[in-house]
Amino acid sequence: MKRMINLTPAPPARVFLALLPFVLLVLLYMVSSDARLAENPNDKLLPGLGQIADTIERSAFEPSKRSGQYLFWVDTASSLTRLGLGVLIAATLGLLIGLFTGAMPVLTAGLSPLLTVISLVPPLALLPILFIVFGLGELSKVVLIAVGITPFIARDMQRATQEIPREQLVKAQTLGANTSQIMVRVLLPQVLPRLIDSVRLAMGAGWLFLIASEAVAATDGLGYRIFLVRRYMAMDLILPYVAWITLLAFLFDVLLRSANRRLFKWHQPEAN
Amino acid sequence: MKRLSLLLFTLVFSANLAAADKFKVCWSIYVGWMPWGYGADQGIVDKWADKYGIEIEVVQINDYIESINQYSAGGFDACTMTNMDALTIPAAGGLDSTALVVGDFSNGNDGVVLKGKKSLADIKGQSVNLVELSVSHYLLARGLDSVGLAESDLTVVNTSDADMVAAYTTDDVTAVATWNPLLNEIVGMPDSYKVFDSSQIPGEIIDLLVINTETLAANPALGKALVGAWYEIMGAMQGDSGVAARTAMGQASGTDLAGYDAQLASTEMFYTPDAALALTNSEQLRKTMQYVAEFSFKHGLLGDGAPDAGVIGIEMPAGTFGDESNIKFRFDPSYMQMAADGKL
């Protein structure tokens, strides 16, 4: 008999096994939802799939009765703008800080301990301070995301820079390169792919900070809507929003991964 | 084997029996609901539960909305909430609920504050920070009615109550609608004017103890024990002899006797069942619930598929508002009447 660790599922079986938990979860949901709805047809906790579909249609494909906007898309657009700006700022800052502190021992000595300490401050605890300093508008939401993930990216970039073999730097110097040439031509091309990986990992935290900031004060956004309708337990809206956020997060991940593959062909582990 | 199954059967059966006599009540921190915490601490609730041979567990929940959601999901048999939230959360969710105790109404505890402006009409065109869809939002809508404005004349910014005071200290926040103790804190800041408060719509924001109608029908003892305990606590917190009780309640809500008394001053507590009955049985309650239902309907709180504000029937002593075949929210004066008649 084959040992368990040597049993490899054939490709069709693999697809089946991958889908199985999802199907089971949906089934479990439908059974529990039916049970609750049989007892109370107006139950809001576990709405039926038909009810959820109706709500999605209303919020995504019909203009809202009060504001005339397509709420679902308005929410998505403003949340993605905030997240996009926040992550862009964090990635830029993180790259610069990481590259400089990683490449120059003087800066490492001066800034590294500070960076470590800053990265240990829980950003959500800073939320009240951010709101007082930056106001309640868009700025403070973007700042929270940026503040939240910059230290992580910066430390990762720093490490990536330091991991580049010393020999390469020596070689570049024997060819007459100066510091800025080494940073642009030797370090940057090798660190950029790592930046994208780092951003992929930081996206999860980015979403967390986005939703937290929208829960505090906002007029639109995915997190805003969830926290607003939570007031009357509209699970038929909350569940699709959660699924949508998950899907968006997944799409970003795929996008970043393929961007990494296309933009930085020289840095693919398969290629080595 | 047979004996084992018999034993199991007895155990399961008796466990069920015991479960039917055990009830859970939840409450959250608010001036009008502190008495529940005090009554539980002092054993007053237990005493009344014992009298009727049942067990009542009183649980404090830190987040108000979470407590209502827990109640709506069936985790608790009764819970404290306002008349508006009782309509829009459990009742709109199909859970038939009854207002067992009408405890008080907000008489200045909720207000609208402007920075640097002294009249409500100046709110036009401003951004107003408030907890959207809460009683603050309702109060603002009623205030706007009174000066001929509509919500479309301003921008509502949903702001968490926990961050309201901090938000107000920033420059871009110029108007807020909130409740006590946050309201007092904000009004106390320089250049801040309270331009509208709930004393201008007396009796419209009512604090209740809401109970699952089915549970109440099956267990009248629970209703009697809770109402009996409530009015004993009410008696214990009044006047000079109630200083100790009010001090305890003040401390439990994070302030002191003076702070708690200040909040009580802007709350019309119904210390006697007669006072509560006067509001419950009044025609005014029907009008209030109609306003509340219309506000809720306009903001989509009764469900997007609701045809009109009367989709959920509200049964009141003065008559029913809305759909009589879909009554999900009731004001039941009978238990408070028993207390008034001394029959508990």
Token pair recorded at residue A62: 């019909």
- The Cα A61–Cα A71 span in angstroms is 9
Test B65 with A66 for CB contact under 8 angstroms: no
**Eight-state DSSP code of residue A173:** H
User: Cβ of B327 under 8 Å from any chain A Cβ?
Assistant: no
Measured in whole angstroms, the distance separating CA B258 from the mean position of its chain's CA atoms is: 23
Domains of chain B: 20-104+205-340 (3.40.190.10), 110-200 (3.40.190.10)
Token pair recorded at residue A216: 């505090």
Test B89 with A224 for CB contact under 8 angstroms: no
Test A230 with B157 for CB contact under 8 angstroms: no
Q: Which of A41, A66, A230 sits opposite B65 (nearest CB)?
A: A230
Q: Which of A42, A55, A132 sits opposite B94 (nearest CB)?
A: A42
pTM: predicted TM-score of the whole model, two decimal places: 0.82
Query: What radius of gyration, in Å, describes the C-alpha atoms of chain A?
Result: 24
Contact between B93 and A43 under an 8 Å Cβ cutoff? The reply is: yes
Would you list the domain boundaries of chain A? 72-264
Could you list the pLDDT tens digit for every one of the 272 residues in chain A? 788 898 888 888 999 999 999 999 999 999 999 998 888 887 888 888 888 898 898 888 888 777 778 989 999 999 999 999 999 999 999 999 999 999 999 999 999 899 999 989 998 888 878 888 888 888 989 999 999 999 999 999 999 999 999 999 999 999 999 999 999 999 999 999 999 999 999 999 999 999 999 988 888 999 999 988 887 778 889 999 999 999 999 999 999 999 999 988 877 765 44
CB atoms within 10 A of CB B207: 25
Distance from CA of A245 to the nearest CA of B (A): 21
Q: What is the CATH number of domain A72-264?
A: 1.10.3720.10
Q: Which of A58, A217, A233 sits opposite B93 (nearest CB)?
A: A233
Encode pLDDT of A111-143 as tens digits: 989 999 998 999 888 887 888 888 888 898 999
ipTM comes to 0.73
Test A44 with B94 for CB contact under 8 angstroms: yes
Contact between B238 and B127 under an 8 Å Cβ cutoff? The reply is: no
Encode pLDDT of B50-72 as tens digits: 999 999 999 999 889 889 989 99
